[in-house]
């Protein structure tokens, strides 16, 4: 058994199904690694397949289990469940970060913990499961690792797009206009942004981010959590 096969054996055990070793290795091969190793097959085609399966399984499930939601509300729930944030959490539960095959650049910049890479890896592994074992096994993987995010659909809808959601919440509760005050510090190549979100005249929350949008989004998410808490 080669070193790759040995390193991903615990992943196969966590998946609980006999995934084809070659397909699973491909699912874990980031394009940066493939480029550095002579164009070996990478995960992108499997990501495409897994994304389609994930979308179908989640859509069918929420259609059946959330009968009172409109098409627009169902779309929000679906988007939050299949979001980068949610899928990166599922990927961490599977331990995908430890077994990704990454190029040197991605390795040096913390690729094993990047939500975007983890999300893509989860979808690619799902594609590998589908091709190896069939649709029922792929469905079971989604049910096990993704459906738990549906335990609080209201929270999912809010946090899938916190900047829009807090606008809607402020309007619904007549809290006043939402605005942000953003400052930054540090050199251009390593700038940190600090955002304060005001709802009406109240400074509701503040947060930092590597970009202006990231700082505002993080502040909006904190403010949403506070505004949704029940008041005594």
Q: Mind telling me the catalytic residues?
A: 51, 123
- 205 contacts 188 by C-beta, under 8 angstroms: no
- The token pair at 11 is 């992943």
Phi, psi dihedral angles at 197 (to 5 degrees): -100, 130
Hey, CA dihedral for 82, 75, 152, 167, is it positive or negative?
positive
C-alpha 111/C-alpha 108 separation (Å) is 7
Helix (H, G, I), strand (E, B) or coil at 182: strand
Task: Tell which residue, 157, 162, 161, 172, has the closest CA to residue 205.
Answer: 162
- Judged by phi (left if over 0) then psi (alpha if -120 to 50, else beta), residue 20 lies in beta
- State CA 208 to chain mean position distance: 20
C-alpha 152/C-alpha 2 separation (Å) is 43
Q: Kind of pairing, strands 178-185 and 202-209?
A: unpaired
Range list of H helices, 101-200? 104-108, 115-133, 135-145, 153-160, 162-172
């Amino acid at each position: 058994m080669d070193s790759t096969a040995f390193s991903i054996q615990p992943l196969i055990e966590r998946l609980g199904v006999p995934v084809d070793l070659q397909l699973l290795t491909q699912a874990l091969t980031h394009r940066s690694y493939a480029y550095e190793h002579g164009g070996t097959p990478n995960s992108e085609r499997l990501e495409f397949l897994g994304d389609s399966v994930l979308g179908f399984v989640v859509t069918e499930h929420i259609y059946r289990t959330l009968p009172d939601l409109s098409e627009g509300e169902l779309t929000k729930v679906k988007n939050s469940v299949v979001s980068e944030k949610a899928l990166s959490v599922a990927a961490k539960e599977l331990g995908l970060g430890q077994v990704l095959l990454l190029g040197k650049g991605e390795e040096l910049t913390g690729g094993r913990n990047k939500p975007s890479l983890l999300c893509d890896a989860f979808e690619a592994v799902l594609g590998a499961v589908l091709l190896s074992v069939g649709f029922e096994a792929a469905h079971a993987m989604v049910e096990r690792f993704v459906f738990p995010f549906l335990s609080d659909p209201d929270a999912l809808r809010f946090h899938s797009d916190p900047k829009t959601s807090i606008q809607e919440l402020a309007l619904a509760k007549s809290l006043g206009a939402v605005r942000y005050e953003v400052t930054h510090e540090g050199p251009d190549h390593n700038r940190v942004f600090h955002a304060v979100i005001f709802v009406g005249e109240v400074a509701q929350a503040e947060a930092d981010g590597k970009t202006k949008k990231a700082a505002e989004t993080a502040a909006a998410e904190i403010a949403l959590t506070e505004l949704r808490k029940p008041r005594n």
